Structure formats: structure tokens, C-alpha cells
Structure 1
Amino acid sequence: MAKELMRIGVSLPENLLTKFDKIIEKRGYSSRSEGIRDSIRSYIAHYEWMGDVKGRRVGTISLVYDHTKRGLANSLTDIQHDYSQMIKSSIHIHLDHSNCLEVIILDGEGEDIKSLAEKLMSLKGVNYVKLHTAPPGEKI
């Protein structure tokens, strides 16, 4: 049985589409649609993996954000204060005039860590967020 394909329209900034096109060419995709489908599958798999972050976990959240975005620094600080019981340390690096890298080191309940990561991801001006976790003491 053939799967029905749905047609959608997506608006993207030119620089993002240019980068995406270069990647799909390097990876040998036959079309932009094939690359988008693969990207969506990867996003869904990552989301489902994040849903399985349970029990005590240690980990990091890495984020890159535009510190010139009005109110963003305050929002980041407020959110981190709400989760201060599990934040063990953080590292802040100025990448250029506008962008900062922050790495937050965590030890706490997996669902709380996931919640923190999702709140950070949702902020406008946050350009990249990556969560890595492991059970404490597990060999990785």
C-alpha cells in the first residue's frame, strides 16, 4: 500500500535554505523533499528520545544565543534560577559581538532536565540547543 504524500509550504530564511541545499547535495539526496523528510524523521526521533529521559540523570545543555535580543538574557537567567537545584555549573563564552555559547552542567531528575531544555529551546533568539544526558555512573 502506497503512503499518501501531503504537500506543504514552508518559508525559510535564504541563508538557512542555502546551507540546507549544500548539505543535501553533499549527502546525495535526490531532492530537497527527500532531505526535508529525513530531517523531520531525525527531529521526531530526537523528540521521542528526549521523552525517555527519566530517573536521575547527569548531563549538559549547550546553547548558542543572540545576547542582543531584547529580554533574552533576563529570560535565560530567570529560567535557570527556576532550576537552580539541579544546575551544578555553567560556562559562558562570548563568540562574537552578538552571539554567546553557554554550557549548563546538570544533575537531577531526567524529566526536570528535559523541561529545562525545552523551555530554553522555545525562547526567541536561542539559535541552538543540544541536550546530552546519561544515568550517573553508567559507562558511555
Structure 2
Amino acid sequence: MEPLRLLGASVKKGQQHSPIGMKRTERICISVPSDLLAEFDKVVMDIGYPNRSKALQDAMRAFLAELKSSKELSGMVNGAIVMIYEHGKPGLVEELLEIQHEHDGIIAATLHIHLTEEDCLEVLAVRGEARQIRELADALRVKKGVKALRAVVL
């Protein structure tokens, strides 16, 4: 699998100057599953982004804004954590269940749906301190095999 290569201006670590008014740009290299890259490239073309770099920058900003807004919440909240994960990944289901059991005081209910032969969707209805819900979402989000996770609080 070829890593996604982001093209654009780059600077070497330690370079101290950049053109006036331009922010420093770093060149990175990441690896993504080929089906995810194909879907991303289609969206990039459909929307009319000039390149992957611009689209990825927008996606990163949206991700950071979502996390920042969730970190600003406090007090008792209600909501849902929705995730899609690969149920066939060895050990993943057990890890996810262990995390859920560690946070069972804030999980009111769960819903499990088999989407495909490979993927499941799980919805956790949650009620508790915003900090606890963030911790639960973060613990689940970082597990290898969790393809997507969204925490919604109301």
C-alpha cells in the first residue's frame, strides 16, 4: 500500500524564515488503506479541492475543532457515542468491551448493528460528566480497527 504523499511547500526542521505572510508548511507522509484513499480522492475531486493537501488540512481543522468544542463541555451531559469498527480484528471486540465495562457507570444502553461481513456499528447511549464521556470516547477512538467514532452530547 502506497503512503499518501502530500505535496506543497515544505521547510526543513530548524529553518527559521518563511516568506512574509506565509505560514510554515511541513511535508508529512502517512499510510492509509487504499479504499479510504480512493474514497477521499473522489470527495476531493467532487468538491473541487485543488489537491489532497488542502482537503486534508480542512479535515484536520474540522477534527481539531470538534475535539476542542468537546473539551470545553463540563458538567452532566447526555449523548451518544457512535462508532464503526472491524469486528473480525483479533482482540478488538474484547478490548472495546473491556473499555465499556470500565465506564459502565455512564453507559445507559448500547445498540449493535452488523453493517457488513467486516464492519459493525455500535451506539452507546451515555449520561454523565462531560469529562468521563470524553475519556470513554478517546479510549475507544484510538483502538486499531475502530474506523470512525463520533461523540454527540446534548
| TM-score w.r.t. length of structure 2 | 0.82
Tell whether 2:71 aligns with 1:89.
no
Amino acid at match of 2:50: S
The separation in 1 between residues aligned to 2:85 and 2:72, in whole angstroms, is 26
Given the alignment, which residue of 35, 54, 58 partners 2:74?
54
Aligned residue number for residue 133 of structure 2: 113
The separation in 2 between residues aligned to 1:99 and 1:112, in whole angstroms, is 26
Q: Based on CA coordinates, which of the two structures has the bigger radius of gyration?
A: 2
CA-CA distance at 1:11 after TM superposition: 2.4
The 5 A counterparts of 1:1-140 are: 1-134=21-154
Which structure has more relative contact order (CA 8 Å, sep 6+)? It is 1
- Runs of 5+ consecutive residues of structure 1 not aligned to the other structure: 135-140
The separation in 2 between residues aligned to 1:75 and 1:56, in whole angstroms, is 26
- Runs of 5+ consecutive residues of structure 2 not aligned to the other structure: 1-20
Instruction: State the superposition RMSD in angstroms.
Output: 1.2
**Are the equivalent residues in 2 in contact too, given 1:90–1:102 (CA < 8 A)?**
yes
Aligned residue number for residue 137 of structure 1: none
